[in-house]
Structure 1
Amino acid sequence: METSQKAMEIRAWHLLLEDDAYRLDCPDDFYQTLISRADELVLREVINLEEWQRLKNAADAVRAQTLQSLTVLQRDRVDTVAIDLCINAEESTALSK
């Protein structure tokens, strides 16, 4: 996997994470889409399982915060831009090590 390709794939996933309208209007679908895309990245060997877990943890945290705010009828913005996924696009995947 080329470094630039991995970086683009991770950036695309992160851009989805930043989609406040989708997150607030369809929180369950939003979460499932994040997990499905992370699953696809593992299956295509773009990321390894440790990196997949980081994506899942970020999705879980954003989902929990979203559901909590919607419970009290707040449509707040989650600072997803500040979430560091700790995935180095220059690292090779686990399968190529």
Structure 2
Amino acid sequence: MSIERTIPELEAWYAQYDDESYRRESPDFYHKALIRTAEALRDDGAIDWDDWLALKGLADEVHLNALGDAVEAKLDDPDT
């Protein structure tokens, strides 16, 4: 199975992945939700181990970026 967006089983995962406000407001919970959804897809047999690793890699990468953005935003405006 591919991790392309066109696969119906991955719609929920990519909907979470694309939720910029959730990512910006709560990077850790956002990351955990992506991992949980990917694990559920794997456990249900919708994706295989390699696809799960690829989704986890995407989640980890965007999480690191979100954390960096959050730190930068806090430094730019400490009152928020």
Match of 1:70 in 2: 70
What letter is aligned with 2:54? R
Q: Which has the higher contact order (CA 8 A, sep 6+)?
A: 1
Task: Provide the aligned length of Structure 1 versus Structure 2.
Answer: 69
Any unmatched runs of 5+ in structure 1?
A: 1-5, 75-97
| Partner SS, residue 73 of structure 1 | helix
Identity across aligned pairs (percent)? 29
TM-score, scaled relative to structure 1: 0.67
Q: Which runs of 4+ in 1 moved over 2 A?
A: none
Alpha-carbon deviations, 1:31-71, whole Å to 9, x = none? Answer: 00000000000110000000000000000010001101111
Long gaps (5+) in structure 2: 1-5, 75-80
1:11 CA displacement: 2.2
More helix per residue: 2
Q: Give SS of 1:72's match.
A: helix
The alignment yields a C-alpha RMSD, in angstroms, of 1.5
1:45 and 2:69 aligned? no
What TM-score comes out, normalization by structure 2 length? 0.80
1:26 aligns with 2:29: no
